[in-house]
A and B are shown apart, each in its own frame.
Chain A
Amino acid sequence: MSRGPIGIGGAVVSGKGLRKQGLQRLARLGTYAGPYRWRLIGAITAMFGVLACTLALPLLLKAAIDSAIIPGDTRLLAFIAGSVVLVGIVGIGLSRAETYLTGWVGERILTDLRGDLFAHMQSLSMSYFERQRTGVLISRLTNDVEALQQLVKDGLTSTVRNVLTLVVAGTILLFLDFRLALATILVFPLMALLTYFFRGQSARAYRLMRSRLALVTAALQENLNGIRVIQAYRGEARSRAALAELNQSYRDANKTTVTSSGWYFPTVEFLAAVATCIVFGYGGYLYVDRSIEIGVLVAFIGYLASFFDPVQQLSQVYNTFLAGTAALDKIFDVMDDAPTLVDAPDALPLPALTGAVKFEDVRFGYNPERPVIDGLELNVLAGQTVALVGHTGAGKSTIIKLLARFYDPQGGRILIDGHDLRAVTVESLREQIAIVPQEGFLFNGTIHENIAFGRPDASRADVEQAAREVGADRFINELPDGYDERVQERGSRLSIGQRQLIAFARALLVDPRLLILDEATSSVDIQTEAHIEEALQRLLADRTAFVVAHRLSTIRSADLIVVLEHGKVVEAGSHEQLLAIDGRYRGLYGDWAEAVAR
C-alpha cells in the first residue's frame, strides 16, 4: 500500500552527489525518449506556443486600455478584442497538441521501461529471486514505475514550462517598467523562502502520514485475515482498541499537514496582495508623476501571477524529482544486475535425451563456505525413479535445483547422457525436463492455459488427454466452464489435491525425458490421496524421475531410494535392499511403523 519513505531520507548521499547521480539517471531515462523524439520536439514546440499565447494576454489588455480605451479608438479596440479571441483559439489548439503529445510520450516511455524491466527480471537467475524478497521485486515493477510516472509526465514538462515562464514573465516585467519590476520583485525572495520551508515541512508530514496510514491498512488487513481467530478467542475489543489507536496516530500525523497548509496558503495569498499594493501604491505615484500608464499596471498584475505560480510549482517539482530519481535508481539497479547463470559461449543444444544422470563429486552451498551438498556421487540409469529421502536440510531440494540448472555446482559436475550441464544451452535442457513443485502453482488464466503452460500451442485434445491420464478430468468436467474455467487468485477455489493434479497434467503434456517432482506434504483426504497416487504412477512411468518423496507409497515403489544426510548419500538402494541393512532408512521406517502401530 505504502510507497514507503522516499528520496530525501538517504542521508548518506550528499545533496550535490544525489543531484549529479540523478542527472545521470535522467540522461539514461532520456534514451527511452529517443524513438519518440519527433513527438517530443512537437510537444516542446507546442509548449512554447502555449506559453506565448498565455503571456500575450496581459499585453493585449494593456494595449486595449492605453492605446484604445483611453484615447477612445473603438476600431483599434475591436481589433485587439479580435486578437484576444484569435490568441485564445490558437492557444486551445496548441495546448491540445501539447497535452496529448507529452502525455503520449510519457506513457510510452513508462510502458517501454516497465516491459524492459520485466524482461530483464525474467532473464535473471533463480539465485537472484531467492536472494530478493518477492515484495521488493514486485514493488520495482509497480510502485517504483508509478513514482516515475509523476516525474516523466508532470515533472519534466512542468520544470521546463515553469522555468521558461519565470524567465519570460520576469523579462516582460522588466521591459514594461524597470522601477516597478524591481519594487515588486522584492516579494519574490520572501515567497521563495516561505515555499522552501513549507515544502520541507509538508514533505516530512506527508511521509509520516503515509507511513502511519500504511500501518493502519496493514493492521486492518491482518485483522480481517485473522478474523476467525479473533472471534474464536474473543479478541474483538482488543482489536478495536488497537485499530482505534492506530487511527488516532494517523489522525495526529494528518494534523501537522493541516497546520502547515493552514499558514502557507493564506500567506501566499497575502503576499500576492502585498504585490498588488506595491504595484498600485508605487505605480500610482508614478502615474501621478505621469511617468507610467494605467494599462502597464494592469498588465503587471497579470504577469505577477505568472511569475509567482512557477515558484510554488517548481518547489513541488523538486520533490517529484527526488522521488523519481530514487525510483529510477532502484529500477536501474535491477537492470544492471547481470544474470549469473548464462550459457557458455560454446554451449551446444542438448540432443534428445535418454535420461541417464550422473552426479560426480558435486559440491554446492548457497553460501560457498557452508556447503549444502558435499561430494555427492550418484548414478541414475535412464528410466529409473529416484526417491530422495532425508530430514530437512539434508539437501534434497538443492539436488533437484542443481539438476534443473537453477544453480551451477561449485565443485564436481553433473552429467546427463554424458553431457556436462554447463556445456549445453539452458533452453535445450529445460525443454526436455519438467518440474512439478510442491504446491501446484496456478497462474491467472483458464485451466487449459494452466495445463498448456509449458506448451502454449497444445491443442485442446492434447490438453484433455493429459488431464485424463492423471485423472484431473474428473473434476475439470464438473466445473461450470470445464477447461475454460478461469482460475481465480492462484486457484484458491480449487482444492490442494486438484491443484496438484493440474500441475501433474502440465508436466505430462510436456512429456519430458526427465521429470523432477517435489512431492507435496499437505494433507488431503483419502480419496484424493488415492487419485494422486494413481496419477503419480502414470507420471513417473517411462522416464527418468527425481522425486523429493514424502509418501511412503512413492518411496516404496521407487527403483532407487537415496537417503541423504548433510548433503551426502548415506544409503542408496531399493526398499527391500535398504530394509535388509540396519541403517538410516530402517530407522526412519521404524519410526513410521511404530507410529502406525499405535
Chain B
Amino acid sequence: MQQHSLELTSGAELRKTFWPTMRRGVGLMRAHRLALWASIVLAVIGQIFTISIPWATGRVIDEAMRPRDTNQLRYLIILILCLAIGRFAVMYLRRLIAGTMAINIEQDLRNLVYHHLLSLSFPFYDRNQTGQIMSRATVDLTALRLFLGYGILFFTQHTVSVVAVMAVLLWMNPIVAAFVLVIVPPLGLLAVMYSRRSQPIVTEAQQALAHVTTQAEESVVGVRVIKAFGQEDQEVVRFRDRATDVFTLNVMATRLRSQYVPIMDFLPTISIALLMLVGGREVIQGSMSLGDFVTYSLLIALMVMPLRMLGAWIGEAQRFVASAIRIFAILDTEAEIVDAPDAQPLPAGGGAIHFDGVTFGYDWDRPIVSGVNLDIAPGSTVAIIGRTGSGKTTLTQLVPRFYDVQHGSVLVEGVDVRNLQLDELRGAIGIVAEDTYLFSATIRDNIAFGKPKATDAEVQKAAERAQAATFIEELPDGYETLVGERGLTLSGGQRQRIAIARALLLDPRILILDDATASVDASTESRIRRALEEVMQGRTTLIIAHRLSTIALADRIVVLDDGRIAADGTHDELIGTNDVYREIHDHGLVDRRFVDADGDHVIIPVGVDQEEGS
C-alpha cells in the first residue's frame, strides 16, 4: 500500500506497468463481455448505416438528378429513409445495451472496492488517511469506470468509423482519397498531444481549486481566531492568492485549448480545399462523378469527430492506467487479520486473558510493547496506566485481534486469538475507545450498533446503566434523535456514555475501557464510575485510566513504561515501591475537571448534572 502511493503515476514505472495494468483493467469486464460484444457489433452495423446515407446521397445526384429520373429519385429517397430507420433502431439498441453495461460495470466496481475496503484491517487504516482512500474510491474509480464503461466501446466504435470511412474513400477513388486523407495523421496526433498536455494542467488546476476550498474552510471554521487577532486582511490576501493560482492555471489551460482546438476545428477545411482541387478536376475530366464528389464532402465531416475523440481517448488512457494502478493497490492489499482456515469458536469461560511474551509495533522495527507477560483472571478488573506513548492502548487492541503480534501470543480463554473465529472473539468483547465515533443515525441505532436486533427495552437498559438515559430522554426526539456528522452534535462526555451503552448492550465477557471517562466532569464521572462498578461484575475488564478515582476501581494495577511492564500489583503494593505509580498518584489529583465543559454547539439539558448530586 505504502509503496503504491500517488507518486507512482510518473514516468518510467507507469510505462512499464501500462500494458499489464490495462490488461488487468479490461479483465474486470469479463462478466460484461457479452454486452460489450453486442454493443460493438451494433456500433459497427450502425456505422455502416451512417456511411450509407452520404453514399446514397451521391447516388441521388448521379442516378436520379443528373439523368432527371424522378422514379429513381423516389426510390433512392425511400432507401435513405429506410437506412435512417435502420440506423435509428440499431443505435437505440446500442445505446441501451452499452449504457446499461456501463452502469452495471460501475455498480460492480463500486461494490468490489467498497466491500474490499470494509474487509481491510486496522493496519491499513493506520497507514492511509481517510481522505486519500476516499479520493481513490471516488476520483480514481470514476476514471476507471469511464474507461471500462465507455472508453473501450468508444475506442472500438471510433476506430471502426475512421477505418470504414477511409476504406470507402479509398475504394471510391484512391487518388482523391490519398489527398483528402492527408489531414488524418496530423489531426489524430494533435488530439493526442492536446489531451496529454492539457491533462496535467487540468489536474493541477483541480488541486489549486482544492486549496481554495481548504482555505475557505479554514477561514470559516477559524473565523473566531482570525477576528480575535484582527487578521481579516491577511486572510483576504491569502485567499485572493489562492484564487489567483486557480486563475493562472485555468488561463494556461485556456491558452492550450486556444492553441490546439481551433486548428483541429479548421483542419478539415484543408481536406475540402484538396477535394475541390483534386476531386473537382477529376469531375471536370470525367474520371469522378459529381455524386461521388458530394459523398466525399459529406464523409469528411463524418470522419473528423471520431478521429478527434479517438485521439482524446488515447491521451486519456494514461489517466485510466494511473487510476487503475491506485485502485488495484487497494484491491491488492490483503486483509491481514482474517480467520485462520481451522479457526475455532470461542470456548466457554469467564474471560481469561493471557499475554505471553508479546511484542508488537506498528512499524516492524519499532516495538510499542515488548515482551509483555500478563495473566488476567476471569472476572477481574485490571487498570493499565502509564505515560502517553507507553503502549496502553496498543496492548488492549491486541485482545480483540485488531493487530497480530510480532512475537509471542495473546490468548483468550486459553486459545491463541489467531486460532479463534474473529466474529466470536470480537462478539465477546465490548470496547469503548478513547475517541468515540458516532454514526449519522439515531441514538438508538448507535447504541444497538453491535446488536441491531436489540429491543427498545434492552437499549434503554444499557443507556441507563451507562448514565446516558437521562440526557437522551431530554433530547428533542429522545432515542430517535439523529446524531453524528449530519445530526445533533453531542458533547464528549455524552458521546462517551453512548459508547459505553453500546458496549454494555453486548453484555460482553471482556470489557475494554480506553480512558472512557476522559471528557466528563466530576459529577458525571462519579456516576459512570458507580455504573461501571456494577457492570464490571461477572466480566473481565481492562481499564486504561489517567485518574486515580478510576484506577481505584481495579483489583490490580499494571504500570506500563516504554512498552514494558514496570510494575504490577494492588494500590497498596505499588504506592510504596513504584516511582511511576507514585508520580501518577500525586499528580493525578490535579488532572480533574472542575465543572463540565462549555462547548459551543453542545447541548446539555440544564439540570441534568445537578439532579442527583454526588
Chain A residues with Cβ below 8 Å from B23 are none
Check B217–A138 contact: CB distance below 8 A. yes
Query: Which residues in window 187-236 of B have CB below 8 A to A?
Result: 209, 212-232, 234-236
What is the bound-complex CA distance between A390 and B594, given in angstroms? 9
User: Chain B residue with minimal CB distance to A272?
Assistant: B84
- In the complex, the answer to whether B221 meets A224 with C-beta atoms within 8 Å is no
Kindly state whether residue A352 has any CB partner on chain B within 8 Å: no
Are A258 and B587 also in contact (CB < 8 A) when A115-B240, A521-B593 are? Answer: no
A118 touching B110, Cβ below 8 Å: no
With a cutoff of 8 Å between Cβ atoms, the chain B residues found around residue A280 in the complex are 57, 60, 73, 76-77, 80
Q: Please give, as numbers and ranges, the residues of chain B lying within 8 Å of A549 by CB-CB distance.
A: 594
How far apart sit A92 and B53, CA to CA, in the bound complex (Å)? 30
> B592–A444 contact, CB under 8 A?
no
* B451 CB to nearest A CB, Å: 8
Residues of B within 8 A of A226 (CB): 437, 439
Query: A72 within 8 Å of B by Cβ?
Result: yes
With both chains docked as a complex, state the minimum distance between the C-beta of A154 and any C-beta of chain B, in angstroms: 12
Name the interface residues of B124-153: CB closer than 8 Å to any CB of A. 125, 129-131, 133-134, 137-138
Is A333 an interface residue when CB atoms closer than 8 A count as contact?
Answer: no
Contact partner, B426, options A80, A231, A506, Cβ 8 Å: A231
Contacts of B599 in A (CB 8 A): 392, 438
* Contact segment of A14-22, A283-291, A375-383: A283-291
Q: Is the Cβ of B523 less than 8 Å from the Cβ of A591?
A: yes
Interface contact B95-A258, CB-CB below 8 Å: yes
**In the complex, are the beta carbons of A255 and B269 less than 8 A apart?**
no
Any chain A CB within 8 A of the CB of B596?
Answer: yes
Nearest B-chain residue to A125, judged by Cβ: B227
CA distance A456 to B230 in the complex (A): 11
**Count, A-B residue pairs, CB within 8 A:** 463
Q: In the complex, A321 Cα to B440 Cα: how many Å?
A: 35
Write out, one digit per residue, whether chain B residues 234-278 have a CB within 8 A of any chain A CB (1) or not (0).
111001100110110011011101110111011101101110110
* Bound complex: CA A553 to CA B281 (Å): 101
Interface residue? B284 (CB, 8 A): yes
Could you tell me if A84 and B81 are in contact, using CB atoms closer than 8 angstroms? no
Cβ of B5 < 8 Å from any Cβ of A?
no
Contacts of B74 in A (CB 8 A): 281
- B449 lies within 8 A of A233 (CB): yes
Say yes or no: B388 contacts A495, CB within 8 Å. Answer: yes
With A100-B255, A392-B604: A243-B114 Cβ-Cβ less than 8 Å = yes
A 172-203 to B, binary, CB cutoff 8 A, 1 in contact else 0: 00000000000000000000000000000000
In angstroms, Cα B506 to Cα A437, docked, is: 39
Partner of B92, one of A227, A266, A527: A266
Question: Contacts of A233 on B, CB cut-off 8 Å?
Answer: 426, 449-450, 502, 506
| Chain A CB within 8 A of B41 CB | no
A529 to B91, CA, bound (A): 72
Most chain A CB atoms below 10 A, which of B220, B240, B250, B270: B220
Residue-wise, chain B 574-614 has the 8 Å CB interface mask toward A (1 for contact) of 00000000011001111111111111101010100110011
* Residue A169, interface by CB 8 Å: no
Task: List residues 289-307 of chain B with CB under 8 A from any CB of chain A.
Answer: 290, 293-294, 297-298, 301
Give the chain A neighbours of B232 by CB distance below 8 A: 122-123
CB atoms of A247 and B265 under 8 A apart: no
CB contact under 8 A between A64 and B276, given known A236-B119, A526-B387: yes
Taken together as a complex, chains A and B put the C-alpha atoms of A228 and B433 apart, in Å, by: 9
Q: A115-B239, A251-B104 are in contact. Are A443 and B222 (CB under 8 A)?
A: yes
In the bound complex, do residue B606 and residue A247 qualify as a contact, i.e. CB atoms below 8 Å apart? no
Contact with B along A139-156 (1 / 0, CB 8 A): 001100010000000000
| Residue B117 CB within 8 A of the other chain | yes
Highest count of chain A CB atoms <10 Å: which of B131, B133, B592, B598: B598
Of the candidate stretches A3-11, A25-33, A103-111, A355-363, the one touching chain B is A103-111
Asked if B19 is at the interface of the complex by the 8 Å CB criterion, the answer is: no
Listed stretches B316-324, B472-480, B546-554; interface member: B546-554
Of the residues B85, B224, B595, contact of A588 by C-beta under 8 Å: B595
List A residues 484-527 near B (Cβ within 8 Å): 489-490, 495, 506, 510, 516, 521-527
Q: Does B24 contact A (CB under 8 A)?
A: no
B457 contacts A by Cβ under 8 Å? no
- The CA of A237 and the CA of B90, in the complex, are separated in Å by 42
**Nearest CB in chain B to that of A257: its residue:** B99
Residue of A nearest to B526 (CB): A595
Bound: A122/B379 CA distance, A: 58
Q: List 11 A-B contacts (CB under 8 A).
A: A81-B273, A103-B250, A222-B439, A224-B134, A262-B92, A294-B61, A389-B594, A390-B595, A453-B231, A454-B230, A553-B590
